[in-house]
Amino acid sequence: RRFLASKEQFHAYLRAGGQPGGHVGGGGEEEEVEVKEKKEEVGSCQSEPPAKRVRLEDLGQDGESQEDAGAEKEPAERKRARGQNKNRPCMKPNHYEQSRLCPSVSQGCAEKCYFGPRCRFLHDIGKYMAAKPADLGRSCVLFETFGKCIYGVTCRFAQAHLGDGYQNIINADLAKQWEGKSLVRNNLSKDLQHQLRKRKFSFKKADEYLCALAKTHGDGGKGGKATGRSKEEQEVSNCTTPQEGLGDSPECPVLPEQEEYPKTDALQSPGLTGGEEASSIKTVGPVTDEDIIKLRSCEKKKLEIQGKLYLAPLTTCGNLPFRRICKRFGADVTCGEMAVCTNLLQGQSSEWALLKRHHTEDIFGVQLEGAFPDTMTKCAELLNQTIEVDFVDINVGCPIDLVYKKGGGCALMTRSNKFEQIVRGMNSVLDVPLTVKIRTGVQEKINVAHKIIPKIREWGASMVTLHGRSREQRYTRGADWDYIAECAKIASPMPLFGNGDILSYEDANRAMQMGVSGIMIARQVPVGALIKPWLFTEIKEQRHWDISSSERFDILKDFTNYGLEHWGSDTQGVEKTRKFLLEWLSFLCRYIPVGLLEHLPQKINERPPYYMGRDYLETLMASQNVDDWIKISELLLGPVPTSFTFLPKHKANSYR
């Protein structure tokens, strides 16, 4: 009972800044906690603390103890908020736009301003420095890591690398070590963006597949919607006219019977590199086997990840800095956030940013979302030619209405014709393995995954990941691991990864005994990679880690450093790092320290009462109040801008 507290006591302690007067039980009890902390060994397996919290059967329905329930002033009928916070306010800071330094000046080439006489940015460094907010710290992570900060005077830690006359200091020896090394790959070049926006990129393989598909299904396919038919009819008309950049139009090959694999005939092109396919320049030299022999599906690169820990693609929070944190804790396979194929084909920079890969990610894939074979196949060929990935994943598990109502995500499980065309088409244009992530079904009590998985294997996918919940369940209730085990037997010899409710190394061991090839670790309310990124270490070392608040704070420090490297150390980069830090804190606050638990491990959907941590920082990290998250961000990134607001993605994540 020593750690239990009422809502008022909890927030009074935080308002008091951790002073003894605000702690439950007074100062003597706090001293006892401090003595206990000194005896704890960092990272060791802890037994239950002597003073246990109230048993679950002694708690009220709202999670409060019976003693505190009477003192609670809030009405008992208040329900927990559900759903998403739609139309969230834009958090882009505008206060620095009016006095922003021109990029040409910050990069040391003021005489060549990119905007010419129309430039609305400042060119006077002295005037800019007079209006610039105070620096946030004495050390710049970019300067200390790479020997040079490319943001110069605009850096919010500029005092670490500015000399006389606001000259940017460079550590030549350290900078030379990183010279020529590519730390982040899969960037969108201006030339490629121009080709996509002007529709000049060549989709030779995709056009051949879609041309044959339209020839066989001239009516747009069974069950096709108006939008799908119009796009496929456009492909039919494109088959009769010369393709731009492809020379003379080839005859449209006839697609074999629907049961056969489309790429086994005319849809399979020789195994050339992406650059050779897009180029019309004739090559010279002897003809080799690679020039004339087609690459069969069995000769494609294999995806050897059986038994490895797979970090799921997490929308918003699964960014590159977060994946670096998980890689450090033992994640073997990482995947970028879900990217919408139509946005990639339009050359949107924000969507291409989701494909970026850090050099430490040795096994990396990207996940695509789309509803029609034309856009998905073209996008697969585009990525096959322009970026470096080890596999491409199709999102057939997204439950949100915005995706589902357009025919993507879980809706593809009910549109088998389109689903088949997408898988076959993408597999025909990719040189890397194609994987699929699905759910048990759309409706809660009607499982259909066991019927779809054999078809996916026949269509040519290399692996399937099954989330043990339906679309209607979303992320609530328990995952059906018995059904996942049944599907794993049906999928054999194709690997099947299981996903859902992996809360500890014990759950991971039970999951592997179900016969799956591996496990995917995702958001997992209330515990998982977002709430507990060190879960990968626990699984590999087969132990419960009672991680201290200072160690957790060091993880947040590393995240902010990675964020400043990735998004920049100027004002815009700092605020973007803060935004994603706050998004992550909306999940991190649900973690309950192992040393405070009465029984191990923590169970899913087990909502604890208000509790006091073993120190002020641990209590602050347990708060679900937005203002407390902002306070944590200020400890790392300095004060927030004027009139700063943050609203989490999900209503259940916080309150004010």
Closest CA to 376 of 306, 305, 459: 459
d(CA 462, CA 578): 38
Phi and psi angles of residue 309, each rounded to the nearest 5 degrees, phi first: -90, 125
Closest CA to 90 of 573, 645, 642: 645
The residues, any chain, with a CB within 8 Å of residue 269's CB and separated by 6 or more, are: 204, 205, 208, 277, 294
Phi and psi angles of residue 301, each rounded to the nearest 5 degrees, phi first: -60, 135
Tokens for 570? 């100027």
d(CA 28, CA 634): 30
Judge whether 326 counts as a catalytic residue. Answer: no
d(CA 210, CA 381): 12
Catalytic residue among 102, 252, 326, 398: 398
d(CA 420, CA 258): 10
Angle at Cα 459 formed by Cα 299 and Cα 302, nearest 5°?
30
State the residue for tokens 């995952």: 479
d(CA 159, CA 161): 6
The residues, any chain, with a CB within 8 Å of residue 351's CB and separated by 6 or more, are: 339, 340, 343, 344
What are the distances in angstroms from CA 462 to CA 20, 82, 316, 381, 654?
A: 59, 37, 27, 17, 40
Find the length of the chain.
Answer: 656
Calculate the CA 422 to chain-centre distance. Answer: 23
d(CA 392, CA 431): 10
Contact 580, 37 (CB under 8 A): no
Contact 529, 326 (CB under 8 A): yes
d(CA 521, CA 590): 17
What are the distances in angstroms from CA 552 to CA 325, 419, 557, 604?
A: 12, 43, 9, 21
Q: Is 243 left (phi over 0), alpha (psi -120 to 50) or beta?
A: beta
Closest CA to 437 of 312, 336, 326, 307: 312
Q: Is 498 left (phi over 0), alpha (psi -120 to 50) or beta?
A: beta
Catalytic residues: 398
